[in-house]
Structure 1
Amino acid sequence: MSRELFYNSQSAYEKIHLQNALIFELSKVTIPSIREIMVGQLNFINKELAQKVAAKVGVQVTELEFPNQSLPADSNYQDLQSEEREAHTKLSAALSMDNTIKNTIKGRKIGFIIANGVNALHVQDLKTKLEGEDAVVEIIGPSMAQVTTNDGSMVTPKHSLTSIASVAFDALYIAAGEDSVKELLMANNKPHVLNFINEAYKHCKAIYFGEGSEPLYMNSNISLKKHIDPAIVSWEDETPDNKFIDAIAQHRVWYLELERNTQD
């Protein structure tokens, strides 16, 4: 297999995702010489990848004499290097997630963020639709205390805003209801719910803002976006429930990473 087959086979936004992941991990390494060796390994795989990472982790791209560094101390490095061969193929569509089927939300986990006064009818209606598509819905409240809906019924959250993070979900629904949103914007809840929303947005996940949740939208980083974002659904959209289901089926809107890295 070509040493750069996997990287070559990724879409532009998947390459950015890989670059950012490597930058994130290598930024934790405090010894510059180790960062430089690791970038040297990347240079052996793909020069563009190495240059992108090196620029962000503060080292120069160097050519390693022996790319394979994981060898016993008493071995002959030169004898144990991989043999260079011309690759049979330099690209494979099967290695890119961009080419996977995106027509189902089966098994996807959606977090419903609710508080007292939430619109019970829309919560139940959307929950039924999503579960009808074999998705999993879990309720997130300001705390683990029961939430009283606008019709007086009680809902017991499975999670609280402080007991779980957005990374545990594939998508978020900010439930309809002005009173619910007002409670979520209270000083003791606001930083937690905004962190939830902003983190999910950063990770390119689908987010549905229910009726009355505009104040949360405007307080979040999403209000600063410069491009049309198919992962963000508003109650004002045409058939918003269906649009949300379609957005979840994409799993992540990864190409937004490309736009976020190129916008002014």
Structure 2
Amino acid sequence: MRIESGFDRRGFLKRALVLGGALLLSGCDQLSGSESFRRLLFRAETLTRTAQRALLGPDALAHEYSEADISPDFRANGSTDPQDADYLALAADNFRNWKLKLGGLVERPMEWSLDELRALPSRTQITRHDCVEGWSCIGKWKGVPLKVLLDQAGVKPGARYIVFYCADTLDETLTGGAKYYESLGLEDANHAQTILAYEMNGETLPVPHGAPLRLRVERQLGYKMAKYVMRIEAVADFADIDGGQGGFWEDRGYEWYAGI
């Protein structure tokens, strides 16, 4: 069920996040380096998450659209042509030797080939992708629900987050050459619309959009939807992973929870 109100809540929160990101990334070094400012951002993120949970509930679905609504040109976000040697070798062989690994705090570490993932229960959804830069597109995605994989592996009680490790190293001049990664809390990881997509608009997922596998978490902004996923890990905390904020862009000032 979609909740309507006197304003577009998704649009309102998206604009607020865009303004917040712009503040952080526009050269306001004194603010972004301030401990009190960081505490303010953390409280705002917590408020956003709490408000969304209170208004929509943990199981509420993002709006799904019809085939007629699919955008004729779906813009590719983030990196679109990874040049990492390991990734290029896998892509050259149409990902036949690629395997998704799932480990960390699980009872049974697992791995799946692309064919094995395709043989598992799947979900198809037509949803809107909202980018923190302010643009949106509607696309059709098919993939395996993340919950199916987590259930197969058996997540241990101590796990609180699911971390996604990706193949793409972003521009060294901008980021220092770090690989992309992201994370979700268990509630969002187990959501019905959280899938690992291997098809887009009825075709095999193309490289610019994250082949062979990308995350779709439809109630959050686009930077949460990691592309080129290689490995998944269940963890108790992400403080010791890279910059310690739970994601590539989060380590650079974005909010960890990007709910819309």
TM-score if structure 1 supplies the norm length? 0.24
Q: Which has the higher strand share?
A: 2
Larger Rg: 1
Higher relative contact order (CA 8 A, sep 6+): 2
TM-score if structure 2 supplies the norm length? 0.24
Q: Which has the higher helix share?
A: 1
